Chain A
Amino acid sequence: MGLHNTEYKGLLGWVDARMPTLMSEYKKHMSEYYAPKNFNFWYYFGVFAMTVLVIQIVTGIFLVMHYKPDARFAFESVEYIMRDVPGGWFIRYMHSTGASFFFIVVYLHMFRGLLYGSYRKPRELVWIFGSLIFLCLMGEAFFGYLLPWGQMSFWGAQVIVNLFGAIPLIGPDLAIWIRGDYVVSDATLNRFFSFHVIAIPLVLLALVVAHILALHDVGSNNPDGVEIKDKRDPKSGIPLDGIPFHPYYTVHDLFGLSIFLLAFFAIMFLAPEFSGYFLEWNNFTPADPLTTPPHIAPVWYFTPYYSVLRATTEDFMWVLAAGVAAYAILLFVTLRNATVKYAILIVALIMIALMIGGPLKLDPKFWGVVLMGGSVLAFFALPWIDQSPVKSMRYRPLWHTGLLILFSIVFVILGYLGTQQPTPGSTYVAQACTLLYFSFFLLMPWWSRTGEFKPVPDRVVFHAH
């Protein structure tokens, strides 16, 4: 008959006989996916991110029903949603609060990865897909921010598109190509709308599926960084420290989710603008191509990278060039392969020439863009630059955790400075933080393997409540 030999009865049996994929995938990813039993607080943020993704898609679908992607009507149509559409304010605030929460949740999710070495072998691909999701998210947030067509929308887009103009030779033409006009205009708004509602979400969803499939192939890491698949029940082959995702973690996550949604809706109802951090005051003024607001800053989740961009001034180029020289010498002394050594030396010399001297010198503006890009892309390298013999910070020297906390503080300081007007003093702080930020990554191959490591237990550490 060609039917699958099913173990189920009734309707499910009828479906399973014809489409066994349904139940076999359900088992693989839910009822028979064995997750370590020692997940802690930090393991909530993946499911929170999924929830926010769903919130953004659902609210987005409804916003598109009332929004008009036209430079003449866009600002008004958002106000129309807020004032005249029944329930419109609820849907719009949910979408705007969701955008900020997406980044809060994703940053904490990434911090968890650094804390427990979740990106280490065999989870490199999980991390790469995750980093790509992060890039998509930044694109999605950037394109979406233009749509209300307020002052901050307009000038934010103007600055970011002009970043591409800093690329030597092709830059100015590239910026025009992206805008579809010589200034940010209706053409820009329309294409950003298309990217925001169709193109990026499709890629984002595909990446989320890849992220989860890759995770379920290798299995989840845990706070101890112990591979639970190494210790299995001899009869069933089930990891001894694993418990089925459903029902154990689905129920566990629902509890966490209820607390998360409490915080989400508290902010959404009581402080949706969040003192100008989630919705900036300037964006309540319609876009004016002739006047930049007296103080412009990106939304909080972009400000750390924005600070790095601003920190790159003419004077700072000398410090950067010295940094490149020092790093090249460090690599030259420690690497063994002669070809690689000399290649690094040549690359470093070219970089220094492009940074500080000679006819080839490129503007600090260009290097600012390079550093800003580098500060985002650095996360991709983690699986390879972390050379620690153990994954989890629990069994690494205490000062490793100290460095991670220092890095997080630097990230927050950069973020704070990015929301403020630059002054000579704050620029020095931002420059120091930029150096620390990059040192954390660039020196990781060395610092991550030094110090006294504690023995890693065979099985996960777990105390039943």
Chain B
Amino acid sequence: MNEIIKMSATTLAEKIKNKELSSVEVTKAFIKRAKETDPKIKAYISITEEYAINQAEESDKKIASGAETGELEGVPIAIKDNILIENIKMTASSKILENYTAPYDATVIEKLKKAGAVFIGKTNLDEFAMGSSTENSAFFTTKNPWNTEHIPGGSSGGSASAVSAMTAPLALGTDTGGSIRQPASCCGIVGLKPTYGRVSRFGAVAFASSLDQIGPMSKTVEDSALLLNVIAGFDKKDSTSINVPVPDYLETIKQDIKGLKIGLPKEYFIDGLDSDVKKSIEKAIEIYKKAGAEFVEISLPLTDYAVAVYYIICCSEASANLARYDGVRYGFRAECDNLLDEYQKSRGHGFGPEVKRRIMLGTYALSAGYYDAYYGKAQKVRTLIKQDFENAFKKVDLILTPSAPTPAFKIGEKSSDPLQMYLSDIFTISCNLAAVPGMSIPCGFSEKGIPIGMQLLASNFDEQTMFKAAYSYQQATEWHKQFPNI
């Protein structure tokens, strides 16, 4: 196996900058790997080979000429296919956008271009990021590189799988209720959902606007910080992005964690928790204790309500956000006789069953006479959930939980039972409701060899503490140095 594909983005960036490796050489290595493994994994909707090679050549020229280079100069990255890159197809894994070409760059893409990153391809997802397994993609299901009978998680399953299978050193995902962290956990990589407002949402297809965040996916914690350094920051094109200065996340990442207070919410350590997951988390706690962290049992009493609140809010917002896909101006348009027919057939055939389910749930929840009981009430409980976290972070610096209640399940296992599927997000959704940052880090394997992840949660805009703790853990463990045999 080519050693390049095993290198971290941090290492690759250094070697490209020092001219030990050329960007073209690196990009070609990853594309070659993708061409070999993707028929089995199906992480990519499109591999943008020509685009990537052009970018790589540009980077090499820049470096050869001694011009100023970016933090990710020449380093390949895979982009979840619900983020727009100008002139490249963007499907959101939906039939309704199957032939849609992006007319502009998302803000994160602009920033990545400026940083010199090379876009290697667009990755698969659950249609419009609605799902936990990529089984809701209108095109195909992505496989877990550790065991192709298992799901890679979702909705950013393509990005997680791509990084895990070493077809890209970095990827971008989006996380509305765990869509970065849960697949990261499933595929044994690092996935970060930043604080709401930390990264611009401009150019990411909106699913639930008040919950969506774009975030980094990578093999190592250091790479995660490197990528967040590039994409974070206030954007005047996104009114919900927040104007808080962006620290250099790499600068503090290696700091000692002695005395760090970590909370263990009792509501997350429940009877139904998978025993392999439980064991891995317990071992992780021991490692942290050795590093000098202190553990405190805490309570997040409203945890039980999170799933209900989450599905009401995300479906309500989605029902409005997805109204624009009507075949009138762009996207799939069915043969039709009149306007109503056009809407019904284009949307009826253009959207998959899960998307339609959520649009209907959300439409119902916002209807006259139901608004107060559903959306209005859910918003109130959401405020209380936020307060739960605020109170918790008065006592502790971080919260540690499992990322998901079980390791990645088998493809098809839950696809007929939406409620069971919704519960795979049970540990990740509160974080989106509370707007706080969260991160999944690999912390072991199940007996069957499927990766397990642990989740760290921090208070608003305290990604630094989270990185520090995650980095410390990764230094003490070898999980991130293991590669799937694919």
Interaction A to B:
no
Chain B residues engaging chain A, CB cutoff 8 angstroms: none
Chain A residues engaging chain B, CB cutoff 8 angstroms: none
